[in-house]
Amino acid sequence: MVNRIIDLFGVKILKALKYIISWPSEEKKFIRATGTVLSEMQAGDIEKANETLLIASKKYIYSLKGLPKNHREDLISILVNKHKGLTESTFEYSYYSETIKNIDYNLLSSDQWKFLYGLFLRNGLIQLGFNCREYALKVAVCEAEDDQENSDIIANAAKATIESRDFKTSNEYLKKLKKKQVHLADDLNNFQKLFLSYNNFKDKIINENYSEADRSFYNFVSNKSIAIVGPAPTPQYSGEEIDSFDIVIRVSYFGNLPDGSEINIGSRTDISYYGNVFSKLISKKINEFSFANNLKFCVFKSQIPNNEFQNEMSKFGKARYFRKKNVFFNGSPMMIQNALLDVLDFNPSLVKIFNTTFYLGSKTHFDGYRVVKEDVKENPFKGLPGFAHHDIVSNFMFVKNLYHFQRIEADEASRDVLQLSKEEFVEALKNNHPF
């Protein structure tokens, strides 16, 4: 009888624990709210979407008990003023900015500062978000010094120091990580090597468990000169140079190059990279795929069930799926960055990027780049969810570091951006997108 009572109480306790564990964290609540925001934006109810975003943001900041109440109130005041339509320079932002800079960054974890960075970015507060990101970098190293057993903390510090080009310190973290998470340590080690030297992966391709598509891709790409062409319109006449490369790579290609653009961006496309959204849209919105006749490879982010486009490319031996890697300090790679991460694994002789302005140009994409035309009310915060999800700064720093170590070349428009410091880039981003 006693044992049965204990068993019953044990079950109740287990259920209670499961309930507590499954209770959504404030981070999860905010992420769910951003899904609602996106749905409201797509429905054209921009006012409601921004109201939902503000409420969710305030709730998350209130939950940060590690911050003194006055700091939380300051952060919320900034958000409220922002949603009143004021820019960062018109509501005593400098006062609040200095207040934030005086916060002891050790009051929050690196992950919490990262989350705040994304939150402020989504709300159009680029500079304030960047300040939080800088705190996240500092705290990442402090946490690894205090806790040398937690593999997630060590990996976070390794990513932070790789981004900062502090390879001596990152090597120490990678040695520790190797004892705990071998595959992640190997991925980060290979990621770090991208900045130090081109890697000849011939032996890995032959000996390891690479797919037939990977082997074919290696044979096609190895020792070739490669132009990776972004979607940003620039005044440069680079078409002839682009077409002179052995291989021309574009992203999200579906026969959508503007008429007469050959003089600017060339006429050839040998390989195209596709994210999941574009794969689905092309499969849904385009009835036939003759645009891919001249493509040698269509490289996809993920295999999507019942995707006609991917299935059709597979029939002709053109489909390949690149290996996703969790190597950035924060966020995930955008498509140009995915192409670089992937191609550099296959021993090209030269890689040069074109028309990649990191959202600093007057237009971010050429006309016709989208599969479907967007027809919704103008939203002042449009574009920011992508900046936050991918982390525009992580993506910029990855390409900047490749360029710094002369692992890639860049056309004039791309080079002008890559020569900016991280702080100058954020300032330019803020000025170019005055949300």
Express each pLDDT in 204-214 by its tens digit: 554 566 788 99
Task: Check residue 16 and give its pLDDT.
Answer: 44
The domain locations on the chain are: 202-432
User: Is 19 a residue whose pLDDT tops 60?
Assistant: no
Edge-first strand order for the sheet with 225-229 is 319-321, 297-300, 271-274, 247-251, 225-229, 350-354, 409-410
User: Is 172 a residue whose pLDDT tops 50?
Assistant: yes
How many Å apart are CA 332 and CA 335, to the nearest integer?
10
Express each pLDDT in 310-343 by its tens digit: 999 999 999 999 888 889 999 999 999 999 999 9
Task: Check residue 5 and give its pLDDT.
Answer: 41
Instruction: Tell me the average pLDDT of the chain.
Output: 84
Instruction: Specify the fold of 202-432.
Output: sialyltransferase cstii, chain A (3.90.1480)
Max Cα-Cα span within the chain: 87
Residue with tokens 């936050």: 388
- Grade residue 15 by pLDDT with cuts at 50, 70 and 90: very low
User: Is 113 a residue whose pLDDT tops 50?
Assistant: yes
- Grade residue 216 by pLDDT with cuts at 50, 70 and 90: very high
- Grade residue 12 by pLDDT with cuts at 50, 70 and 90: very low
Task: Check residue 375 and give its pLDDT.
Answer: 44
Task: Check residue 111 and give its pLDDT.
Answer: 94
User: Is 246 a residue whose pLDDT tops 90?
Assistant: yes
User: Is 14 a residue whose pLDDT tops 90?
Assistant: no
